[in-house]
Amino acid sequence: MSRHVQTVAFTIAGAALFAYVVGRAGVGEIGDGVQRVGWGLAVILALAGLRFMVRAACWRLCMPADARLTYLRAFSAFLAGDAVGSVTPLGLLASEPTKIFLTRHHLATRDSVASLATENLIYAASILAMLTVAVGVVLATVPLPSSWRWEMAGALAAVLGAAVVSLRLLRGTWDERRGPRPPWRARLAELRVAVLGASTRNAARLRRAFGLEMVFHVLGVIEVWLTLQWLVPDLAPSFTQAIAFEGLNRVVTVAFKFVPFRIGVDEALSGAVAPALAVSTAAGVALAVVRKVRNLFWSGVGLAIVAAHPARGSVRSV
């Protein structure tokens, strides 16, 4: 199946799921909730833009200290790459090459590849941390059937185990006191350094990047909390609910990147989880709809950047 056919198929399936979920939850109730957000949408859009700015700053921290790529160019490339990744089923396979292409005259290709690989690994680590917090909060505060609690506890243990193993692999597992590495381990170490680039030799910059990635998630929680305040003003939503919804959003974003804009999937899962968090199904779906509007806005900005970018010039050598 060609990429274009896949895109059309996933979009049609997502649209059908979206229509079903919205119809089942109640078009009127969802519409009323979105209307209550009103001008609060401007705040939501601003917070989303700030989150992109944070990710762009993380990317620059993963570049060599002497990189000539300005923050504005990094931010523009990040927006554009995210937009291309959102409108196609390719995800990272489309977004990262777009960033490399848009910065090719200001950053060597090898530095682009290495810095993006490092940023994505740090972002993945921050997602694991975010999910750990979200699952822990849900287990501590939400009354769930015992079977669900055991399953979530098992998932949390798996997440923590994956985080420990990933960190160990990134740092390397060979003790230099044992002498020289065997040839095959030496090649693996060289590959790790080549992929992650010079940033691996500056732990302070990587720690700052991880801290900023966590700020990205905190801003997401604040965005969800504010949106729920406008959607269901009588409920007085808590940060516990916001953390749970944002944790779900991270999972959906990663697992369903192949669905353009995750249409239908966001709404279905958010509406399904909402009752367990003492939020109506309609409000859960409306929350996903508001996020969809936010995604469409910033994707439009990103695609405009792609359209305005001059395609002339050769790629810098590696």
Find all residues with CB under 8 Å of 285, minimum gap 6, and list them.
Answer: 21, 22, 25, 30, 267, 270, 271, 274
d(CA 191, CA 240): 42
Q: Give the amino acid at 166.
A: S
Q: What is the predicted pLDDT for the residue at 318?
A: 36
Instruction: Mark 268-292 as b/e (b = at least 16 C-beta within 10 Å).
Output: bbbbebbeebebbbbbbbbbbbbbb
Task: Yes or no: say if 64 and 199 are a contact pair by the CB < 8 Å rule.
Answer: yes
Domain definitions of the chain by residue range: 3-308
Query: Do the beta carbons of residue 288 and residue 266 sit within 8 Å?
Result: yes
Q: What are phi and psi of 62, to 5 degrees?
A: -85, -5
- With beta carbons less than 8 A apart as the criterion, state whether 155 and 139 touch: no
Which amino acid would we find at residue 203? A
Weakly modelled stretches of the chain, pLDDT under 70: 1-7, 10, 20, 166-179, 181-182, 184-201, 311-318
| Rounded (10°) angle between helices 40-61 and 109-141 | 130
pLDDT at 27: 77
pLDDT digits (tens, 9 = 90+) for 240-276: 999 999 998 888 888 787 777 788 888 898 898 888 8
Task: Tell if the pTM clears 0.75, that is, is over it.
Answer: yes
Give the CA distances from residue 109 to residues 32, 96, 317, in Å, rounded to whole numbers and listed in that order: 49, 12, 7
Q: What is the per-residue pLDDT for 118?
A: 85
Nearest-angstrom CA–CA distance, 224 and 273: 14
How many angstroms from the chain centroid is the CA of residue 101?
21
